[in-house]
Every structure is written in structure tokens, then in C-alpha cells.
A and B are shown apart, each in its own frame.
Chain A
């Protein structure tokens, strides 16, 4: 059970960040920003949460077991999956028109 919890921690963190940033974005845009997008403050907030989220992966990476056995490698791969997903799915906060 502990091992399973470790296995899903990385992807869970991605799921959390993804929902959080999507929700924050919806909330910020609902606040009446025009079609051109968020003002600097709100965008900085989104970027800030994203960067903090990326940093939060560091302790997870450290927590993951080392070694080449399958039960050691899998949790490690899982953290990388979460990290890669966070980078790829949320990078739009930096460049894409927001509202």
C-alpha cells in the first residue's frame, strides 16, 4: 500500500497542480479581463504557482527509491511522469493568450 501511494504521488501532484491552475485561470478570467488577457498580476500568479509546483517535485524525486530493481524504478519513473506532465501541460501559462 505504501509503495502504491509512492507510485501515484508524482501523477497525483500533477493532477493537483493541473486542477489548481485551471481553476485559478478560470477564476482570474471570470474577474472581467477583456479578450486580450490577464493583466500582469494574474499571469504572474499563475506562473508563480506553476514554478512552485515544479519545485515541489524535488522532494518527491528525493523520496523515490534508488536502485535498479523494478519496484524501485517504477516509483522513480512515476515521479518523472508527473514532472514531465506538469511541464508540458502547464507551460502555456507563460506564453498563451489568457482570456
Chain B
């Protein structure tokens, strides 16, 4: 305490994870300062410009809840129709829209946004930071979700909703068999919504890796963060195949590029592979956050610590990987050879092992501690009862011969609701009842919640348990009438009756939330006596979360012990002295303090950007493809404005984070959050590219051959064109390092040259993409590469502009690093694409 701070000492401290505590200040003054800087603008406009993670996380979850209600109403319509065997309640065309929308809403507009919202709302609190890494991106994701969801709902209101089932199998969903915009609504709407999923995945990854409180090692962070890290990694790799598939199918529908049309060299199975390559990981993406909730709440409810932390992390790791090796178990009946089925059957069975490890670790935790039957614990028991059964029927479905019987029957419907409601909805209800005091600052009113639980449990099992039997007795899914099967009538009627009980239960649950928020008494801080940082703050949580950021000594303490010290500013980066939103960025492994990130403030830019993307989507839906292309101009312009907002500006001096610890601001730091974020984006982008290459390989090897028309390309000319592109791009990648204005200009020129050469090749040498799937895929790959060149050129231009403005100096890098990364990626995919093309031509 008494040693005199010298510059040497200060830099030595910067290397250590231990940050010295700061002297205490007046908590109220800190609170006022911070609130002024972090709060949303006032009024409705304030909701539009909000970028704060608490606001947006809650809004994500609230909107997801609304969609859950809508999806629930649709399920009531389904069950009403199925209650009798000649249900005349809905006509078949409408029924098909309703079950498709029920599934799509529940998966894309309820489950995924709900877990994103939970992560966005909770992670910064749990990790001891003030916001997500890219607040504007959070807001962009929300608006894209909302607009995409509204497009789909509007279609339902006008009777043009998707009607091909939530997995949209081609050829049923192609332009011949689904004329009209129904299928386009799904493809465009869901892809629009997926922008938010990818955005959330990028943010969550970066936040967990780089924004943990100093000293919170990766191997010691709360398990929920591990689960979300696994989830977001899976989203980065899992969503691109779906996006690729949707784009290809939309291209087929809009322009006749026959990727999936067997008469022109395409293959309906390619869609199934791309869809399930996403679709199976998807269910683990939904399950992991829920399991994370379990791992957080169970120890607190049992007044102990989690049993087997290491084993659980290993189980997460195993799930993340194995779940990408199961997708074919949705395709056991498409006629794949038995050996391939065996690979996927074995993988599907094996994935139950890490799940079992977690379940037993949780039960072991209960043995170790002293479980107390608070309301969250009810829902946790509901989880165990339901999810264990769902998991076991899952193992049954992984067994190939049994799958041949049960596939596409009500048995599968039962199974999927056991895992989705058991494995996601019950944990989310536990989470809601556990964290609500932190959201509302109110305590629960006893009684309603417990009653709701029992009604839900009864309603759920009453509805879905016998549905297993309905399926085994031969009832396929997705049928609306069954006139010849009196033996299914009583089963369906029972399910339908209980489904109304279930709905009443959910309504009671929501009523409980509303009662608590409105009539509940004020609760004290940290009502559960929890050990984690999310409770080491006032209730309801303030916009800035922590008046000072937790440091090592707060990590070992219970929330109750840490809370006052943090409020008094004894942690790092206390207050908001510089009048801007600041948080601490740390290193990946041991969370060593690295630099200070300055976050953007409230802005409506995310709304504008997503609205302009929305215009593009609507134009595509309307079939106005020229106008759609035009609509991309404002999108590009707004992205430019967005990027301008990241340029170095304001006070760039180092910041005193703690006594004797001065850290640079992110403009002057080497490994900024944006850089980690771009790396995450490139992982997703690379997966998109690999999905396209998978398509190329699949169509050339597995698809029964339909001979393509004679190729019109001239080999020499094409090779020259490819050569020009390759050389220009390699040049662009090399000059990026030079760090000078003229290098940026050269990079811009090289990218434009490559782009011009590509366009010339496309129009002079490429075969008609509508003739054969092979040519269509080549055109799609060329389009992918071309888009990347265009972005690379724009980034080079942006860097050039930054040189002109004097924003790139020896201290500040501006967008130079980002451009370099993007350029390397672009060059690499272009060269790879050229190689694949040459190999494909060579083989055939």
C-alpha cells in the first residue's frame, strides 16, 4: 500500500492478473455518474436508440415470449383439428400452414431468440462487465429478429404463410410444387432472423473470451459461460449451412438455378443434408443454454457447489462436437447405405453419454447439498422427469431399424416435445423464476407459480405421453384427418384435452410473472444468497451493472460480500469520469487486463440498417429483383456509416483502470474486441463457403448423374481469367501489410481488377446456370467469391479514406487490421474455389 508507484511498477502490474483495489468512494455519486452515461434515452425514442444489453436482452426474451404464445395458440388449433378423426375445423391447406408456422415459430422465433436474449442479458452480469462487446450489433440483431418475425406473422394473417413443414423439403418447396410466396416467406424471413443469431453468436463468443473480470480464468468461470461459449461456437458453425441452403433454394425458386432439381442434375437430398447439418446442432444449441441454467441454479438451490465442474466442461465439449456428427439420423429412411447409417447411429447413441454425465452430475450435486424446494426447483424436477424420458426416446430413435418404423410419426412429435419442452421450456421457467427478482426488484407471491407448475406438468405429460403410442400405432405426423382409423381417436382426443390443460398452465405461469412484477413486494439484494457476480449488484439491475468492475478479490467472495465494495468503487474502472461507456478487456486464458474498450452510445443506426435490409427482403418477396438490388445501396451506405462510428476519435490517452494500472484505449490496442469479433465472423463465413463446397462435392459424387450440357467455356481463356484474379488477390493480400496509403490504394485497385476479371469470366465463359445444377453451383461459388472481393474493395477504400483523414497513425490502426484479415480470407477462398473448379473440370 505504501510503495511509490513508478512507471516500471505500473507496467509490471499490467502483466499480473491481480488488480489492486481502489479507494472507496461515495456509492451514490458513482451511481449518478454512471447512470447518466449508460442509461437509455428517454421515452419511446429511447427504446428505439437503446443498445444496452439489459434492455435488449429483456426485449429479446419478452418478444420471444410473445411468439411462444402465438406458437402456442397455433398448437391449440392443431390439437383442436386432431381431436376428432374427421375434423372439419380447418381445411388442409390452412392446417399445413398452421403446423409449419407452429414449428417454425417455436424454433426460430421463440427458442433461439429466447436463449440469445438470456445470454445477452445475463452474461455481462455473470462475467463482471458492463455490456456486450458490440452493443449496436445487439440492437441490430433485435430489429432483424423483430422484422423477420413480423414478416412471417403477416404472411400468416394473409393466408400465405409457409406450408411445407418446418424443414421445407424440396421438391415440395420448389417453385413447381409450391407456387406462390409461401415458401419464399420462410426462406427470406428465417434468413433475415438468422442475422440476429449470427450476430448474437459473434457477440457472445467475444464477450465470454475477452470481457471476463480480471482474474476470472477460463477454467474457473461460471458454468453458464462455458455452456454459452459452446452454444455460440455451435451457432457460428451450425447456422451457415442453413443460410447457404436457404439462399440456394431461394435462387432456385427465384431464378431457376436447379440446385435441388433432379431433372437438371440437382438433388433434393442436398437440401436435406444442408438443412439437418444445421437442424441437428440446432437442438443442442437450444439445449446447452438450458443445461447451463441448470448448472447455475441447482447448486444455489442445494446450498453447495457444482459437482464435477471439469467433467461438465468436458461433456459440453463433447456435445459441441458430436452434435455435428448426427444429422443423418433425420435421414435414416432416404436410402443411405447401412454402413453410413451405422456411423450416424453410433454417433447419435454416443451423444447421450455427455448428456448422462451432466444429468448425473446435477443429481450428484443434489446429494452433496441440501436441496430446498423453492419454485425454480419445481421446474428443475419437471426438467428431470421430462428430459430423461425424452432423451431415452431419442436413443431409441437413433437405432436404425426402430427409426424406420417410428420416423415421421406421432412418436417423433412426442419425442421432440419431450426434449424441447423438457430440455428447454422447463429450464427457462426455472430461470425466469430464479432471475425475476433481478429484473423487477420484486419478490414472488407464493402459490400461483406452484399451481402453474403442477398444471403444466399434468397437461404436458397428458398430451404427449400417449402420443408415443399414437405414433407406434401408425399415425404419421402432419396429417389433419384420419377417417379410417377409429383406433387413434381416443388417443388423439386425450392429447387434445390435456393440451388445453397445458395451455392453461402456461397462462398461469405468465400470470405469476405479471403478478410478481406488479404486485410483488420489494426484494432484498441477492435473495438466493448466490455465489455469482450476477447478484453482486442492486436489484433491479442498473444499466451499467457494476459501479466498479469486479477484480480478483471479489471473485472468491459471495455476491453478498462483494456487492457493497463494488458499489463503492473498490473494483476497476470505477464510475464514468470520462463521460463515456467504458469496460475492461482481458486476455482469453487467465483474464489478464489488456485494454479499455470504449463502447458506442445510444443510436438509431441499428434500426435504420435492419429496416433497409427489411426493404431488400420485401422486394425479394415481391419478386422485384431489380428494386431489391437497388435496396442494397442504402444497406451498403449504412454499413459504411456504422464503420465510421468505430474510427478513432475523442480522448485517446491511456486510462487509469486501478491504482498503478494504466491501460490503453482500444483504438490504440493490438487485439481489440472488433478483431476477435471479425475472427468469429470469418469462422461463420468460412463454414458458409465449406457448405457450398460440400454441395459441389455432393452433386459430383453422390447424386445420380444427369449429364450436363456441353460446356461452352474455352479452357485457355478461363485459365487466363482465373490467373488474373489469383494474382490480383495475392497482391492485395500482400500489400495490406505495408501499412501505407499507397498500399491501400493498390489494394483497392487489385480488388477491383479481380472483380472485373470475375465479371468478365462470368459473362463470357460461364455456362447458363439454369441449365444444370453443376453450373448453378459454380455460379453460386463465383457469386460468393465476388461478394467477398467487393467487400474487400470497400474495406480498402475505407482504409484509404482513413489515411486521408489522418486516423491511421503509428498508435492507431483504424480499420487496417480488419481489412487485412478480410483480404487474406478473400484471397484464400478465391484460390480454393479456383482449385476446386479446376479439379472438378479435370475429373469430368
Contacts and interface: CB of A to CB of B under 8 A. Distances in A.
Q: Within the complex, are A and B direct neighbours (CB within 8 Å)? A: yes
Interface of A: 1, 3-4, 7-8, 11-12, 14-15, 18, 21-23, 25-27, 29-30, 37, 70-71, 73-74, 77-78, 81-82, 84-85, 88-93, 96-99
10 contacts: A1-B589, A7-B317, A21-B343, A23-B701, A30-B702, A70-B220, A71-B219, A85-B318, A92-B342, A98-B337
A88 to B, nearest CB: 5
A15 B324 contact: yes
B191 to A, nearest CB: 25
B576 interface: no
Contact of B318 (A21, A71, A81, A93): A81
Interface stretch (B254-262, B307-315, B382-390, B539-547): B307-315
B325 interface: yes
A68 B701 CA distance: 47
A3 B340 CA distance: 34
B314 A77 contact: yes
Nearest to A76: B314
Contacts of A96: 338-339, 342
A80 B105 CA distance: 39
Contacts of A29: 337
Contact of B701 (A27, A82, A90): A27
A74 B219 CA distance: 9
Nearest to B346: A89
B339 A91 contact: no
Contacts of B220: 70
Contact of A74 (B310, B321, B349): B310
Contacts of B337: 25, 29, 97-99
B588 interface: yes
Interface residues of B, number: 31
Contacts of B311: 77
B417 interface: no
A89 B697 contact: no
B604 interface: no
A14 B702 CA distance: 23
B688 interface: no
Interface of B: 217-220, 309-311, 313-314, 317-318, 320-322, 324-325, 337-340, 342-343, 346-347, 349-350, 588-589, 697, 701-702
Contacts of B321: 8, 11-12, 14-15, 81-82, 85
A61 to B, nearest CB: 15
B702 A70 contact: no
B322 A85 contact: yes
B701 A26 contact: yes
Contacts of A4: 218, 588-589
B588 A88 contact: no
A97 B218 contact: no
Given A25-B340, A98-B338, 11 more contacts: A4-B588, A7-B317, A11-B320, A22-B340, A25-B339, A77-B311, A88-B349, A88-B350, A89-B346, A92-B346, A96-B338
B323 to A, nearest CB: 11
A92 B325 CA distance: 15
Given A73-B310, A81-B318, A89 B339 contact: no
A99 B339 contact: yes
Contacts of A27: 701
Nearest to B698: A26
Nearest to A98: B339
Contacts of B324: 15
Contacts of B350: 84-85, 88-89
A72 to B, nearest CB: 9
B339 A92 contact: yes
Given A8-B317, A99-B337, A3 B342 contact: no
Given A27-B701, A70-B309, A88-B350, A3 B589 contact: yes
Contacts of B342: 92, 96
Nearest to A35: B337
Contacts of B697: 23
Task: Find the residue from B313, B320, B340, B347 having the highest chain A CB count within 10 A.
Answer: B340
A11 B217 CA distance: 22
A91 B589 contact: no
B330 to A, nearest CB: 15
B325 A18 contact: yes
Contacts of A97: 337-339
Nearest to A91: B346
B347 A85 contact: yes
Contact of A71 (B217, B317, B339, B701): B217
A11 B465 CA distance: 36
B318 A11 contact: yes
A22 B343 contact: yes
B310 A18 contact: no
Nearest to B220: A70
Nearest to A90: B343
Nearest to B671: A1
Given A15-B324, A25-B340, A70 B310 contact: yes
Nearest to B705: A30
Contacts of A78: 314, 317
A11 B323 CA distance: 11
Contacts of A25: 337, 339-340, 343
Contacts of A73: 310
Minimum-distance CB pairs A-B, first 9: A92-B342, A11-B321, A77-B314, A89-B347, A96-B342, A98-B339, A96-B339, A71-B219, A89-B346
Nearest to B347: A89
Contacts of A74: 219, 310, 313-314, 317
Nearest to B325: A18
A60 B758 CA distance: 42
B219 A15 contact: no
A62 B209 CA distance: 27
A15 B74 CA distance: 39
A61 B342 CA distance: 27
B346 A88 contact: yes
A99 B258 CA distance: 27
A14 B317 CA distance: 13
Task: Find the residue from B318, B322, B339 having the highest chain A CB count within 10 A.
Answer: B339
A81 B219 CA distance: 18
A12 B310 CA distance: 19
B314 to A, nearest CB: 4
A98 B220 CA distance: 46
Nearest to A77: B314
B159 to A, nearest CB: 42
A90 B217 CA distance: 36
Nearest to B703: A30
B325 A89 contact: yes
